[in-house]
Amino acid sequence: MYYHASDESGVLSVAAICRILGMRFPVPLTSRDMAKSLRVAFYPIGFGSEKLQDFIQRFRMALINSGVAVLSYTEALSEGRDDKVGEGIVLIAPGEGTPGNLAIDHVASLSKNTVVGILESNLPGVGQSSLQKRVNALVGALVWHMAHTLIYIDETTWTVCTMNGAISTFSLDSLEERILDTVIPKLAAPVVPPQRDDFEVETSAFDASATRYRIPVEDLLTGAEMWGKAGLLASQTRIDELAFRSNKYRRIASAFLNWRTGMSYGFLAHQLPGLTTPAIDLDEAAPVLRLIDWTEKDFYEIDSHICVALKLRNKRFLVKIPEVSVLCTRSGCEKTRLDPEKDVVELTLRNGRIILSTPKNIGTDGDCQPSFDTVSILSNAIGNIIVASILAKLNPASRFCVALNHSGLALAHWHGYIDSSELPSGYYLHGRRNPPVSCSTPQAAIFALAGKLSAFQQSVNEGVEFLGDVHEEPSHGTNVTGRSLFELMRLVVGSGM
């Protein structure tokens, strides 16, 4: 069943979602708002074909017409120092460039500036049928040209490639109409690897052999093997196996990735079980809660907990946001061959703060980095808790609620899509009309939670038991939630991917 779950559904405000996830508010969520947040400059080139120059001119005008602030390169440099453009400016670099004088050499910050390369050629490996070969070719091209995003142009088409593995090809005739809804979201919500300093890190605090983790760990190990055999996950692309123009650029790439040994796409996770506290119907709530104006604001701090009011069936249900924990694969590991002693970490969201618990005895030198998709993973998990809390009030025997209480729920992301007509009753697909952002961005986390709640609202309105949701991320991939990774793999394979 397909349902477009927009953030205008009214189930929960974006401000409330940002507070739950510990993110700054507001976050630009529409292509127009993203365009207004962008500042762009073009890195000068000494020469270029007439075709490349024409593309650049059309590209520049399309950005301006979309509401993007386009600065001259001189203006961009004036906001920085030491011959580097100011932080936050997107630097668009046409042509191959010269080592030592690439656009990446002239940005103030690896994480706060985005470099877009525009090349008059074809993406290497784009015709490969193997997911692994396409991923390797894309990552190899990105590090060779030292860009976060690459645009290839040929005789009739242009192709946009990003660090999140997205590859989208369009006709040259559609350039102007595609800029706003295809390119701008990728520039305004770029892929930025999470740093360990972004979280509270509890080193060697996770023991995969502990009894309480038995079911989630078994699900991860079995699921990883099955998803690998089904060809849904690619292996790690190792940084030390890639070609760079110099050791300097190898060091820059490693620093940007926070010294990860490589990159891999997709995630497998299992939300830990826990007894769900039923939501409170506001009409039945204690007088102190009924006195609060929930129409003016749908979230408040009550007894040091975030409490939200969700609108369903013309009623308001109050949910106290609990701590939520998820086991997931560490960034860059071989997801198809997991070692539970070093490849699984625990993520916890506690009152808007993220805690990363690394495996027991892995030590400080181990490559145990948080997943790029950490916030999206926890956003899905919080959404599951909220849904289960309302189900515990409306239908305590629901399979979704029972599964979360007893064995937890499985979460997965892969670079493919599900045919919505193949989904069983109780599964809802959402997100298809959202701007195409990576699942490592704040926007993706907001879309995940807002979409899940809107999908649940649809199930309540239709009187259909809610079993799970499928969050489609345009030009990127899909997140799915269900009772186990094996069950999700069968759902994905059965849909034809």
The pLDDT tens digits for 316-347 are 999 999 999 999 988 878 788 888 888 899 99
Question: Residue 386, SS3?
Answer: helix
Which are the contacts of 90, defined by CB distance < 8 A and separation ≥ 6? 38, 39, 40, 41, 113, 114, 115, 116, 187
134-164 residues labelled b (16+ CB within 10 A) or e (exposed): bbbbbbbbbbbbbbbbbbbbeeeebbbbbbb
* Assigned architecture for domain 31-188: 3-Layer(aba) Sandwich (3.40)
Extended strands (E) in 361-426:
409-414
pLDDT at residue 163 tops 90: no
Q: Which residue has the higher pLDDT, 436 or 2?
A: 436
More confident position, 478 or 333 = 478
pLDDT digits (tens, 9 = 90+) for 221-271: 999 989 988 888 777 778 888 899 999 999 998 888 776 776 767 889 999
Give residue 128's pLDDT.
Answer: 53
Nearest in space to 332 (alpha carbons), one of 361, 293, 372: 372
pTM of the full structure: 0.93
Contact 114, 146 (CB under 8 A): no
> How far is Cα of residue 490 from the mean position of the Cα atoms in its chain?
23
* 115: Cα within 13 Å, side-chain hemisphere: 29
Q: How far apart are CA 318 and CA 190, in angstroms?
A: 35
Q: What is the mean pLDDT of residues 67-77?
A: 97
Tokens 């668009």 correspond to: 92
DSSP-assigned letter for residue 181: I
pLDDT at residue 254 in the model: 86
Q: How many CA atoms lie within 13 A of 239 on its CB side?
A: 20
Least confident among 21-25, 56-60, 92-96, 161-165: 161-165
Q: Which two tokens stand for residue 230?
A: 């089904």
Tell me the mean pLDDT in the region 371-385: 94
* H or E, element range at 299: strand 299-302
Mean pLDDT of the chain: 89
Name the residue with tokens 């997205």: 166
At 164, the pLDDT band (50, 70, 90 cuts) reads confident
Above 70 in pLDDT, residue 8?
Answer: no
User: Domain map of the chain by residue range?
Assistant: 14-27+194-494, 31-188
pLDDT of residue 126: 58
For the chain, the residue count is: 497
C-alpha angle with apex 376: 371 to 377, nearest 5 degrees?
A: 65
Convert the pLDDT of each residue in 276-317 to its tens digit.
Answer: 999 999 999 999 999 999 989 999 999 889 999 999 988 999
E strand residue ranges, 321-405: 324-329, 344-350, 353-359
Task: Specify whether the CB–CB gap between 369 and 264 falls below 8 A.
Answer: no
The confidence score (pLDDT) of residue 351 equals 93
* Cα(442)–Cα(37) distance, integer angstroms: 14
Predicted local distance difference test score (pLDDT) of residue 495? 61
User: 109: how many CB neighbours lie within 10 A of its CB?
Assistant: 15
**pLDDT for the residue numbered 366:** 61
Q: CA 467 to CA 484: how far, in whole Å? A: 12
What is each CA distance from 379 to 124, 267, 446, in whole angstroms?
35, 14, 7
Q: Is residue 127 predicted with pLDDT exceeding 70?
A: no
Return d(Cα 99, Cα 250) in angstroms, integer: 12
Architecture category of domain 14-27+194-494 in CATH? 3-Layer(aba) Sandwich (3.40)
